[in-house]
A and B are shown apart, each in its own frame.
Chain A
Amino acid sequence: MRYAPAILVGRLTRFAARLRKAGGGSAVPGLVVNRIAPNYLKRTLSGFPQGLVVVSGSSGKSTTTKMLVAVLRAHHVDVFTNPSTANISQGLTSALLERADWRGRVPGEMAVLEMDEGHGALVMQGVDARVVTLMNVMVDQIDRFHDSEMVAGMLARIAARANEAVVINADDAYLDRLADKVRADVSVHRFGVSDAVLASAPRGLGYAATTVARVPEAGGVRLVAVDGRSGTIDDHGTHVTVELPARGIHYGVDATAAYATAKALLGERFDAKTAADALSAIPAVFGRGERVRVRDQDVDFVLVQNPASYQLNVDSIEPGTSDILFAIGSDVRDPSYFWPTDASSLGRVSIVSGSKAAEAALMLAYDGVEIDRVEPDLARALDDFLAAPPPASGTKTIVFSADSMRRTRAHLGLTGAE
């Protein structure tokens, strides 16, 4: 009963927010409930009978969370999870409200949550997790995360909330060091890639610092081969082949992380084949992003989140793609940290847009990319880009930061953020 009034207010807020703007205002109810019932989030997260699992890190947490949920559900675990856009406090509370009954109780035996590395430490104050899985430390949003030490420190605080196990990417030097510091009664499970897989990544794995040696066969769950969309996981000598949602070593690493976490959670109940089937059933992702049908044409969306994903995603755009819209928004406070990337493979960009259009154009120009037009007004840029005749080669491609993605989706009337 304790939370019934707050839940009611939260519901009314959501109703009001949706009247005002269809599909919008999703974080507002959470903001309201967090204000009038500050312990609701903490109590609810701590209340799942089979505990709370948290996935965090700079990159790959959304995909890994999705994969882990699929593997657990395939093992008949009733899982509550958050959409990837709701990984900070208000969004998380809103996501809980979506599923809560009138007393605020959320159904599910286990919660698996993707957690923003910056907000996670705060959200997790006073909340105990069963297992914490950490993906990596990458250079990201310098104005928010000043350097890699700061991100590693935030992840260490999240990891400290684990009371059963910590699952870490042992190829990441920051996380490897962090594993030495967990409490003695908390077990450490490692995952990583083999020498061969690392050698096949010409630009490395994108971590701020990579360990010198790889995880030995007996030391953890390893990604030992990636061939196109097929990945092979070596589970202490047992080889399991999974189909990945798209080409790319990082998807293989995500699958390996999900596999290792599920195994740590399920123990004896874990079945390698069930896990492999569930991982392989994750829907395919096109071109590192998503192919959508808008205004009677196919358009590829490519999301850029940090320098490592930027590089991977730009590299994956088919060379010669003639029509590219490139939009960087206000979420990138200062784009300096993107400068070490190389976008020369794009060759030419039709329109550079977003509130940071000039900064983006400057960076592309120094990469040797030709720019046809700079149009800071994203709505106008989108309209003109989509009204242009079909591309001479490839699919019309929109590369955007998270803020520009939201604005693009809103402008094109696309709902949902996943």
Chain B
Amino acid sequence: MTLTIVTLVPSLQNTNGDAENAAVLARRAAWAGLDARVVAVESRADLPEQVDAVVLGSGSDASLERSRGRLLELHDELRRWGTEGVPILAVGTGWELLSWGIERPDGTTVEGLGILPGRAVPRAGARVTEDLVVAERGSGRVLVGFENHARDYVGAEGSPLGRVRAGQGNGRGSGQEGVVMGEVIGTHLHGPVLAKNPFLADRMLSAMADRAGLTYEAGDQARAVDAYAESACRAQIAAAGVADAPG
């Protein structure tokens, strides 16, 4: 059987290369000897019958309403995937659109899809564009990426992705980053977060494989490539001024 990873509205939601996390999952599945494909879903008509994982990247503020419109077509599916344990990774404005809503500085609100708890709120200072280093809640493992967002996030205090070691994360003095609910992850970690932090990719792949009655074990090629990720993360952690190495 073939594992199907969908990337939602990539034409609008791939500003930072976040939608490429779908390709990262597919590539790692292939390295593990599993059949996998990526399906780009721009509208409901593109939706495949079987969905094993979902990636939703970040877009620009100008396209928030348009993206929301496209995602609303998939509202039922998104709810169902979330409840059934289909791994979902949502980044930046993609995450914000899956929240309760997005508050703009002028007081207007973009209503979210309510898949993840919390909401995006205006940020007092300038837009954040810097390295983000996070210690994962529970495991303590280090997640590394780059953040690029103009808003803070509140209401995720009960189940954040992790604790901020360097950078801003959810902001508002929370010291937290991201939100996790079941297999649904919302994060400010932009770009190829699954390539940079392969343990997160492998956790998603294991969940996908389990649901499909398959076994996932990272392939040899993945181990070689993960060494590049580790060097890249070490460099970024050092640049961000955090003392310890990735866990």
**A residues within 8 Å of B by Cβ?**
139, 142-143, 146-149, 333-340, 356-359, 361-363, 365-366, 368, 374
* Cα of A368 to Cα of B60 in the assembled complex, Å: 29
A-B contact count (CB 8 A): 79
> Quick one: closest A residue to B59, CB to CB?
A147
- Which B residues from 188 to 247 make CB contacts under 8 A with A? 190-192, 195-196, 224-225, 228-229, 231-232, 235
Which residues of chain A are near B229, meaning CB under 8 Å? Answer: 358, 362
Contact for B17 among A147, A340, A358, CB less than 8 A: A340
- Binding stretch for chain A, among B19-27, B114-122, B151-159, B167-175: B19-27
In the complex, the answer to whether A147 meets B61 with C-beta atoms within 8 Å is yes
* Cα of A336 to Cα of B62 in the assembled complex, Å: 20
Interchain nearest-CB distance for B15 vs A (Å): 6
Interchain nearest-CB distance for A382 vs B (Å): 20
Interchain nearest-CB distance for B67 vs A (Å): 13
Given the known inter-chain contacts A143-B148, A374-B228, please indicate yes or no for A366 contacting B195, CB distance below 8 A.
yes
Contact for B192 among A143, A149, A339, A358, CB less than 8 A: A339
* Cα of A146 to Cα of B231 in the assembled complex, Å: 26
Which residues of chain B are near A143, meaning CB under 8 Å? Answer: 129, 146, 148
Which residues of chain A are near B131, meaning CB under 8 Å? Answer: 334
Max chain B CB contacts within 10 Å: which of A139, A359, A368?
A359
Given the known inter-chain contacts A142-B129, A363-B192, please indicate yes or no for A340 contacting B225, CB distance below 8 A.
no
* Cα of A358 to Cα of B195 in the assembled complex, Å: 12
- Which B residues from 134 to 161 make CB contacts under 8 A with A? 146, 148, 150
Leading 10 A-B pairs by shortest Cβ distance: A336-B191, A339-B17, A358-B231, A358-B232, A147-B60, A334-B146, A339-B20, A361-B228, A362-B228, A365-B225
Given the known inter-chain contacts A149-B61, A358-B232, A362-B232, please indicate yes or no for A142 contacting B225, CB distance below 8 A.
no
In the complex, the answer to whether A366 meets B24 with C-beta atoms within 8 Å is yes
Which residues of chain B are near A361, meaning CB under 8 Å? Answer: 228
List 5 A-B residue pairs with CB atoms under 8 Å apart, sorted by A's residue number. A142-B16, A146-B129, A336-B190, A359-B232, A366-B27
In the complex, the answer to whether A366 meets B62 with C-beta atoms within 8 Å is no
Check: B14 CB closer than 8 A to any chain A CB: yes
In the complex, the answer to whether A336 meets B24 with C-beta atoms within 8 Å is no
* Cα of A362 to Cα of B195 in the assembled complex, Å: 7
In the complex, the answer to whether A336 meets B231 with C-beta atoms within 8 Å is no
* Cα of A51 to Cα of B15 in the assembled complex, Å: 38
In the complex, the answer to whether B60 meets A336 with C-beta atoms within 8 Å is no
- Which B residues from 48 to 74 make CB contacts under 8 A with A? 60-62
**B residues within 8 Å of A by Cβ?**
14-20, 23-24, 27, 60-62, 127, 129, 131, 146, 148, 150, 190-192, 195-196, 224-225, 228-229, 231-232, 235
Chain B interface main SS type:
helix
* Cα of A341 to Cα of B23 in the assembled complex, Å: 12
* Cα of A335 to Cα of B229 in the assembled complex, Å: 13
> Quick one: closest A residue to B149, CB to CB?
A146
Which residues of chain A are near B231, meaning CB under 8 Å? Answer: 357-358, 374
Interchain nearest-CB distance for B190 vs A (Å): 5
* Cα of A335 to Cα of B146 in the assembled complex, Å: 10
Given the known inter-chain contacts A147-B60, A147-B61, please indicate yes or no for A334 contacting B191, CB distance below 8 A.
yes
* Cα of A359 to Cα of B232 in the assembled complex, Å: 5
Which residues of chain B are near A374, meaning CB under 8 Å? Answer: 228, 231
Which residues of chain A are near B235, meaning CB under 8 Å? Answer: 358
Which residues of chain B are near A340, meaning CB under 8 Å? Answer: 14, 17, 19-20
Which residues of chain B are near A356, meaning CB under 8 Å? Answer: 232
Which residues of chain A are near B61, meaning CB under 8 Å? Answer: 147, 149
* Cα of A365 to Cα of B18 in the assembled complex, Å: 17
In the complex, the answer to whether A358 meets B16 with C-beta atoms within 8 Å is no
Max chain B CB contacts within 10 Å: which of A336, A337, A359?
A336
* Cα of A146 to Cα of B127 in the assembled complex, Å: 9
Interchain nearest-CB distance for A176 vs B (Å): 15
* Cα of A358 to Cα of B127 in the assembled complex, Å: 27
> Quick one: closest A residue to B146, CB to CB?
A334
Kindly list 12 other residue pairs between chains A and B, CB separation below 8 angstroms, not including A147-B15, A336-B190, A340-B19. A142-B190, A143-B146, A334-B190, A336-B191, A337-B191, A356-B232, A358-B229, A362-B195, A362-B229, A365-B224, A366-B195, A374-B228
Given the known inter-chain contacts A362-B225, A362-B229, please indicate yes or no for A336 contacting B127, CB distance below 8 A.
no
* Cα of A156 to Cα of B198 in the assembled complex, Å: 41
In the complex, the answer to whether A336 meets B228 with C-beta atoms within 8 Å is no
Which residues of chain B are near A358, meaning CB under 8 Å? Answer: 228-229, 231-232, 235
Which residues of chain A are near B190, meaning CB under 8 Å? Answer: 142, 334, 336
* Cα of A358 to Cα of B16 in the assembled complex, Å: 18
* Cα of A293 to Cα of B24 in the assembled complex, Å: 39
* Cα of A382 to Cα of B127 in the assembled complex, Å: 38
In the complex, the answer to whether A139 meets B15 with C-beta atoms within 8 Å is yes
Max chain B CB contacts within 10 Å: which of A149, A334, A356?
A334
* Cα of A356 to Cα of B18 in the assembled complex, Å: 19
Which residues of chain B are near A148, meaning CB under 8 Å? Answer: 60, 62
* Cα of A146 to Cα of B129 in the assembled complex, Å: 8
Which residues of chain A are near B17, meaning CB under 8 Å? Answer: 336-340
> Quick one: closest A residue to B196, CB to CB?
A362
Which residues of chain B are near A335, meaning CB under 8 Å? Answer: 191
Which residues of chain B are near A333, meaning CB under 8 Å? Answer: 146
In the complex, the answer to whether B228 meets A365 with C-beta atoms within 8 Å is yes
Which residues of chain B are near A334, meaning CB under 8 Å? Answer: 131, 146, 190-191
Given the known inter-chain contacts A146-B127, A149-B62, please indicate yes or no for A337 contacting B195, CB distance below 8 A.
no
Interchain nearest-CB distance for B26 vs A (Å): 10
In the complex, the answer to whether B225 meets A336 with C-beta atoms within 8 Å is no
Interchain nearest-CB distance for A412 vs B (Å): 26
Which residues of chain B are near A336, meaning CB under 8 Å? Answer: 16-18, 146, 190-192
In the complex, the answer to whether B148 meets A146 with C-beta atoms within 8 Å is yes
Interchain nearest-CB distance for B16 vs A (Å): 5
Given the known inter-chain contacts A142-B15, A143-B129, A334-B191, please indicate yes or no for A149 contacting B60, CB distance below 8 A.
yes
> Quick one: closest A residue to B17, CB to CB?
A339
In the complex, the answer to whether A337 meets B15 with C-beta atoms within 8 Å is yes
* Cα of A403 to Cα of B190 in the assembled complex, Å: 23
